[in-house]
Amino acid sequence: MLSGERLGEIEEQVSQVSMTAAESAKILVNGLKDAGIGLIATLPDINLSDLLREVEEAKGVIHVPLCREEEGMGICAGGYLVGKKCAAIMQNGGFFNSTNAIVSTLLQYQIPVLLLIYYAGDIGDRTFASTGSMTEPVLQALGIRYYIMRDIGDAPELIKRAQILAEDARKPIALLLTKELLGRRAALKSL
């Protein structure tokens, strides 16, 4: 257990980068809107807080808060079939929860969806090491192309390109959202 004092220090550190977290969130949501995304299904993670707040407030985007990520794959598939470009935002544990729907609906029917997956257990995280270690292998096993996002400056262009690829390949594409991208940790230039 963390002591109250240590928790206070962590809160302080997070609040110091919270300006950038809010800015990152704005940039990401604007990127999604510019890519034409009209429906976003989400399930929270603490590191996605600012991003989800921005999604809630976004105009012209249907926001669907989920109870479990797998249902989000169905909601995105339904949205796509009637003409919406769709994205889902979740933690990598939620991506694991979604695999049956990804395989037997998104891949089987060839449905493009942007999967924005928070990369818990990434290098430097204190928790979810197992989840982190299995994230890329599972994406590879499913044949889902993915890109690790670390620099918020690249985000709008990457999101746009990922959506083009998803539509052209008629497949889901994953963007792994790291803590540095989300403005919740200092970036390392060499990563």
Partner 1 sequence: MKRYDCLKTLASQVNDALVVSSAGAMTLEWNSLHPNDGNLRVRTLGLCSSIALGMALGLPHRRVVALDGDGSLLMNLCSLPTIARMRPTNLVHIVFDNEVYEASGSKQTATGAGTDLVGIARAAGITNSQWAKTVDEFAKLAAAALGGNELCFIGVKVSTERTAVPPFPIDEVENKYRFMRHIEKSEKIEIFKTNLPASYI
Which residues in this chain contact partner 1 in the complex, by CB under 8 A? 38-39, 62, 64-68, 70-84, 86, 100-101, 104-105, 108-111, 164, 168
To partner 1, the closest distance from the beta carbon of 169 in angstroms equals 12
To partner 1, the closest distance from the beta carbon of 143 in angstroms equals 16
Give the Cα separation of 71 and 126 in Å (integer).
29
To partner 1, the closest distance from the beta carbon of 41 in angstroms equals 8
* CB nearer partner 1, residue 93 or residue 183: 93
Report which DSSP code applies to 149.
E
Beta-carbon-side half-sphere exposure of residue 9 (alpha carbons within 13 Å): 4
* CB nearer partner 1, residue 14 or residue 165: 165
For the chain, helix (H) and strand (E) counts, in that order, are 7, 6
* CB nearer partner 1, residue 147 or residue 187: 147
To partner 1, the closest distance from the beta carbon of 95 in angstroms equals 16
* CB nearer partner 1, residue 109 or residue 133: 109
What DSSP string describes 29-79? Answer: HHHHHHTTEEEEEE---GGGHHHHHHHHH-TT-EEEE-SSHHHHHHHHHHH
